[in-house]
Structure 1
Amino acid sequence: MAAGESGFEAGPAAIAVAPNGGRRTRADHPALPQTADELAETAAACLEAGAAMLHCHVRDRDGRHILDADAYREAIAAMRRQVGERLVVQITTEAVGRHQPEEQMAVVQAVRPEAASLALRELVPDAAHEAAFGRFLAFMKKERIVPQIILYHPDEALRLKDMMARGIVPFDDVPVLYVLGRYAAGQRSAPADLLPFLAPAAPRFGHFMVCAFGAREAACVTTAAALGGHARVGFENNLYLPGGTLAPDNAALVRGVTDALAALGMRAADAERLRADWTLSAN
């Protein structure tokens, strides 16, 4: 359940898994999935561990991050064969320092996925890009593609709310992802990094999710869930279990959060619940 304007209300928390990202390779972890079939196997294992969504990056034959419609279609088809509709599959538009906003938007328009993540600072680097971003979001709304806006700093939340107030964002509310510690020294996140996003004067969004870097990933996202948010874990940002040992696979990171929620008397939301929550916030 999402956070309301008057406070925070904890309910079933959706767990998303980001199993590979755009930069890590098997040199970082031998179980990092790269191919469509490996993503499908990871999807099935993470679904069993409690995930409701998979955040998907695709790679070329050399293992490099790409924004390629055919590669996305292949990966999505492979995951659907394994898990059906029991996981939300969200594609990334991440630039990884190579892709321009036009390319990032074009891949979503070509694939027409169920959901896509959009980094505000990448898609709208300055005011000159606002109009194109607004048209792109209008396309996503028409096609019923759920956007999740990635915010790295509380100032970006203020900017997004301003764009909503000016009618550039054609949604009454929009799901967001708060990234903790992306630009901190050593990229090591702590639960307190969430507090500026949730300060009394900070903008409120009906559906927020949190991801974090380093071995305190589980603590960060569990804190978010207890405050009415949702969790994203996975090898994209972290390879380690809370005790500091290397995780054997992505499913172990998902299971750790599922168990942590259970210890707090909470349960993990399934894909059906996540879709229902997103439908309410994206109308």
Structure 2
Amino acid sequence: MAASKIIITCAITGSIHTPSMSPHLPVTAEEIADSAVEAAEAGAAIVHLHARNAADGRPDQSPEAFEPILRSIKQRSDVVCNLTTGGAPFMSVEERLRPAAVWKPEVASLNMGSMNFALFPMLKRFKEFKHDWEPAMLAGTEDLVFRNTFKDIRYALETLNETGARYEFECYDTSHLHNLNHFYREGLVKGPLFIQTVFGLLGGIGAHPDEVMHMKRTADRLFGDQYRWSVLGAGRSQMPIAAMAAAMGGNVRVGLEDSLWLGAGTLADTNAAQVRRVRQIIEGLGLEVATPEDARKILGLKGGDRVGF
């Protein structure tokens, strides 16, 4: 699924990393919006968005928390806004869907299967926390299943298909590709599918190049020319996996949601720094970075004039 232009998605803040892990993690609406606009200026065609409680940084999946972020970004940039429906693994699917249902974005993320979503190993690296919820949340993932049943996925699709949104299908393992194929064959989703294969999170597939190739071969077999491939490498896997995929013509995702680091032992001070780094890799391979308008054409999006914000 080689693309003529490579789409860079930047995931701005997420719900995995906590404020104590990096002073550079955007938390307030203003910080998240500013960071998204900077990432777009650096070359990101899509920004993947979560919201947080401004007081303590915990994930906030209320539509009201997203409103100032979305309105600020739209006033300053034509970047494609992608709203999470993953929220945080301990939230119900109804809670997770509310922002996308209200704001009707061009793209919404959609997790394609239930899984162990293990963040507790981070407690070995990070010892001091500003807020009590941070270590409690991390520890709790040792006994957590991130629920995304077939019923949940169907509910998400039936809710959001009415808005004209398309999806970033987050696939953390081979089974998630087969789950997506089930809904594709039923006609609930249509091509071109934007498939984000995720590597290196404990509970999902690993980050070895063989595993990257296995996921791509499986997607090729299941979807042929009806999908656009992208990769996300967690933590230290971020740039190596992005480089591997870009060399194969795949799209890439970076951002502080997926990794706090720019290199070994060096925290990324902005999302834009990661975008610039992966852009150097892409352009160093003789490839071209997609603009937001390019991404809209490649993915068949409805356009920024048809969103709810």
TM-score range, shorter chain: 0.7 to 0.9
Q: What amino acid maps onto 1:46 in structure 2?
A: A
Judge conservation of contact 1:181–1:193 (CA < 8 Å) in 2.
no
1:273 is matched with which residue? 294
Structure 1 length as normaliser, TM-score? 0.85
1:24 aligns with 17
Are 2:83 and 2:109, in contact at CA under 8 Å, matched by a contact in 1?
yes
Tell me the number of residue pairs that the alignment of Structure 1 and Structure 2 aligns: 267
1:255 corresponds to: 276
Instruction: Name the CA distance, whole Å, in 1 between partners of 2:275 and 2:10.
Output: 7
**Preserved CA contact (<8 Å) 1:15 1:52:** yes
The one-letter amino acid of 2:19's match is: R
User: One-letter code of the match for 1:77?
Assistant: R
Residue 227 of structure 2 aligns to a residue whose secondary structure is coil
Contact 1:67 1:104 in 2 (8 A): yes
Question: Equivalent of 2:57, from 58, 63, 67?
Answer: 63
Q: Secondary structure at the match of 1:197?
A: helix
Following superposition, the deviation at residue 128 of structure 1 comes to 4.0
Report if the CA contact (8 A) 1:196-1:202 is conserved.
Answer: no
Percent of aligned pairs with the same residue? 26
Question: Which amino acid in structure 2 is aligned with residue 65 of structure 1?
Answer: P
Q: In 2, Cα distance between the equivalents of 1:127 and 1:248?
A: 39
Structure 1 residue 134, shift from structure 2 partner: 4.3
Which runs of no fewer than 5 residues in structure 2 stay unpaired? 115-145, 303-309
SS at match of 1:65: coil
Which runs of no fewer than 5 residues in structure 1 stay unpaired? Answer: 4-8
Deviation at 1:105, TM superposition (A): 2.6
Instruction: Quote how far apart the aligned CAs of 1:53 are.
Output: 1.2
Q: Distance in 1 between matches of 2:249 and 2:64?
A: 36
Alignment of 1:175-254 (within 5 A): 175-183=194-202, 189-199=207-217, 202-204=221-223, 205-254=226-275
Report SS of the residue matched to 1:171.
Answer: coil
What secondary structure sits across from 1:121 in the alignment?
coil
Does structure 2 retain, via aligned residues, the 8 Å contact 1:158–1:202?
no
Secondary structure of 2:266 counterpart: coil
CA contact (8 A) 1:216 1:242 kept: no
2:134: which partner in 1? none
Amino acid aligned to 1:195: M
**Partner of 1:6 in structure 2?**
none
The verdict on how the C-alpha distance between 1:19 and 1:132 changes in structure 2, with shifts beyond 3 A counting, is closer
CA distance in 2, matches of 1:155, 1:277: 26
RMSD: 2.5
Q: 1:131: Cα distance to partner?
A: 4.5
Of residues 98, 108, 118, the one that matches 1:116 is 108
- What SS is found at the alignment partner of 2:300? helix
**CA displacement 1:149-174 (0-9 Å, x = unmatched):** 1110012101211221133x242442
Question: d(CA) in 1 for partners of 2:293 and 2:250?
Answer: 17
TM-score with structure 2 setting the length: 0.78
Partner residue, 2:178: 158
Please say if residues 61 and 98 of structure 2, whose CA atoms lie closer than 8 Å, have aligned partners that are also in contact: no
Give the Cα separation in 2 of the matches to 1:183 and 1:12. 31
Query: For residues 126 and 16 of structure 1, do their structure 2 counterparts lie closer, same or farther at Cα, with a shift above 3 Å needed?
Result: closer
1:77 is the counterpart of 2:80: no
Asked if 1:125 is matched to 2:143, the reply is: no
Task: Answer yes or no: is the 8 Å Cα contact 2:183–2:189 preserved in 1.
Answer: no
User: SS at 1:117's partner residue?
Assistant: strand
Separation in 1, partners of 2:207, 2:245: 13
2:29 pairs with 26, 33, 36, which one? 36
1:51 aligns with 2:51: no
